[in-house]
Structure 1
Amino acid sequence: MHELRFNPLTGEWVIISSTRSSRPVLPEGSCPLCPGVLELEKDYDLAVFDNRYPSLLLNAEEPHTYGSRVLKTEKAIGKCEVIMYTSEHNSAVSKLNLKQLTKLIEVWCDRYRELSNLNGIKYIFIFENRGKEVGTTLSHAHGQLYAFPFIPKRIKEKLHTIKTYYLKNLSCALCDLIKENSLEKNIVRETEYMLTVVPPYARFPYEVHIYPKRHVSAIIDLTAREKIDLAVAIGDVAKRYDKLFDEAFPYMMTLYNPPVNTGEIHDDYFHFHVEFNPPKRTKDKLKWMASVETGSWTFINPSEPEEVAKKLREVVIDNG
């Protein structure tokens, strides 16, 4: 079964994806993402393919109906893709060179452009889950992409908040935040075009955001030089994470672009950005999503963002 169900209490669409094909049995110790094993026949540089177990389908079947005024269902139309960073099994974002990371950003741009042209797609969500702590079952460096037929609830909240600010001040909230220098104590690293910070409003102890200094609405609006700087910033965060506790640091990396095919232009107020949300609170403890966070969407951060920024800033890494 693949269908969308609407929560009338929160305004959220929930994806029901209960029918999944049996995973193929592979030789012990083999990785389905390595060349010649399952997904990709030959050696590759960067690669994109459709998820074998998608939650959304372009040819989604008709949903069943409840015959209710309250309970609504829709087709689970969309696309789920896997984005391979490298054919090297033991690699990671923290180990990729600048050229490879820059090419990855170009792949993200390509997928965003192409999927934006699909009928019914409203939001393209690009992300990476790294580590068993966030549910990753395959360690081979890869990310994913979901093309949704709706705007997810948290994105709606972001849009509403920043649009309200724009209409009141006629300026972008993130641009103003950067210009007024109120992030000085929260900066981890600054390059010519990008600002890496532990935001004052961080929900997770080691949460890090990357903000383009220039106002750009979507990743495809970045110049070639800005894309290189974004690659530098992403690699830098991943390296600091790994060096912090001398381990493969788990995280969720998410890219935030404006919605598509909505009939509205978001360019003036939506500011493209990247978020890293790691589940770690210390080397040996995780920051669990407990009742307050899960039930009320109110996060309690046990760490002071400015102190975390200082700690990450002081991590010595090789950026060569």
Structure 2
Amino acid sequence: MTERRYDPTTGEWVVVSTNRQDRTYLPGGLPDGAACPLCPTRPGGPVTEIPRSRFEMAVFDNRFPALTRDPPRPSVPGSALTPVAPAAGACEVVVYSDDHDASLASLGAPRARTLVEVWAARTAALRERPEVAYVMPFENRGAEVGVTLSHPHGQIYAYPDIPPRPALELRTARRHHQKHGSCVWCDLVAQEAGGPRQVAAGGEWLAVVPFWARFPYQVELWPRRHATDVVDLTPTERAGLARLLVEVLEAYDRLWDFPLPYVMALHQRPTDGGDWETVSHLHVELSPPHRSATKLKHLAGSELAGGAFLTDVAPEDAAAQLRAARHR
């Protein structure tokens, strides 16, 4: 069963996807005799989801999708108060490498540039589908954020509506533009460039611990130019994003000398055109769950019940630690 159910108390849709209970769950490593489904299919070895003996990067439909092109009819009737709808959209897997023990950081800027090109190509293709309103590439890294396969990979979700977090950002950016006549993200680039919260910078991009960081070591990557989505990036900007992303991920892994878990997501303009061009500013969010080398930031009462985040490290201090880690 997979379907969308509407919450009339918040105006948000929730996907109920019971088929995902059966997805492969291997957060602690592979049991004896098991095969990683994201490794290549090698001669004499087990058949995996990728029917090649070697590859650089692979993209395919998720075997346990929450959203699909031809979703089943909802299993329950809705009402005027609580509508139910088919879970239309797409869920794709992006495998970064045939090396099971690699990471996006260890693969380097050239492979990260390939990933940026994949994000752009899949965004361009998926946004042409009439049921798709928003395309969000993301990566979950580490068992601490619920990863079920340790092979280096990310995902791309194509939603039938704009997810709540990007929708809130877009509404807020629209209010800012109406009041000030400018893009809020462009104003932030101007304010934060070269400041105490900057972690790294390239010619076209900034990496910053945001002033309002919800997670202690959260980093966001902002293009200096008002680029609305990953498709809109020039070749130079795509290369710059790849380089800076790898710099930040390397700093994460050097911070406490272990592979730092994180959630990475691209926020970009919705697919329906409209007036999003003036208020949508592409950005990449990186949210590690750690607040120290040995402690996690758990989302509990204030965050889960109230939506009010409390952070344990000043953004200026986190940025200074990450800058130092870059040069170790």
Q: Is the pair's TM-score, using the shorter chain for normalization, greater than 0.5?
A: yes
Classify the secondary structure of the residue corresponding to 2:135: strand
- Residue 317 of structure 2 corresponds to 307
Say yes or no: does 1:49 pair with 2:60. Answer: yes
Aligned-residue identity in percent: 39
Kindly provide the amino acid, as one letter, of the partner of residue 10 in structure 2: T
Say yes or no: does 1:281 pair with 2:291. Answer: yes
Distance 1:35 1:285 in 2: 35
Kindly provide the amino acid, as one letter, of the partner of residue 3 in structure 1: E
Larger mean Cα displacement after TM superposition, 52-61 or 29-38: 29-38
Say yes or no: does 1:110 pair with 2:115. Answer: no
Change (3 A) 1:225 1:182: closer
The CA deviation at 1:291 is 1.2
The CA deviation at 1:30 is 2.5
Q: TM-score, normalised by structure 2?
A: 0.93
Distance 2:193 2:32 in 1: 54
The CA deviation at 1:81 is 0.3
Kindly report which structure 2 residues correspond to 1:205-244, keeping only aligned pairs within 5 A, or say none. 205-244=216-255
Runs of 5+ consecutive residues of structure 1 not aligned to the other structure: none
Change (3 A) 1:23 1:123: closer
Kindly report which structure 2 residues correspond to 1:175-194, keeping only aligned pairs within 5 A, or say none. 175-181=186-192, 184-194=195-205
Change (3 A) 1:35 1:166: same
- Runs (4+) of structure 1 exceeding 2 A deviation are 19-30, 64-69, 180-183
- Residue 8 of structure 2 corresponds to 8
Change (3 A) 1:67 1:205: closer
Change (3 A) 1:307 1:69: same
Kindly provide the amino acid, as one letter, of the partner of residue 319 in structure 2: A
Equivalent in 14, 30, 35 of residue 30 of structure 1: 35
Distance 1:135 1:293 in 2: 18
Kindly provide the amino acid, as one letter, of the partner of residue 148 in structure 1: Y
Q: Is the 8 A contact 2:202 2:240 kept in 1?
A: yes
Distance 1:298 1:236 in 2: 30
Kindly report which structure 2 residues correspond to 1:84-95, keeping only aligned pairs within 5 A, or say none. 84-95=95-106
Runs of 5+ consecutive residues of structure 2 not aligned to the other structure: 25-29, 42-46
Kindly provide the amino acid, as one letter, of the partner of residue 115 in structure 2: L
Q: Is the 8 A contact 1:65 1:72 kept in 2?
A: no
Q: TM-score, normalised by structure 1?
A: 0.95
Change (3 A) 1:252 1:67: closer
Distance 1:20 1:157 in 2: 27
- Count of residues in Structure 1 that have an aligned counterpart in Structure 2: 317
Distance 2:324 2:166 in 1: 33
Distance 2:87 2:217 in 1: 34
The CA deviation at 1:265 is 2.9
Q: Deviations over 1:34-90 (max 9, x none)?
A: 100411011111110000100111111121444533111001011100001111111
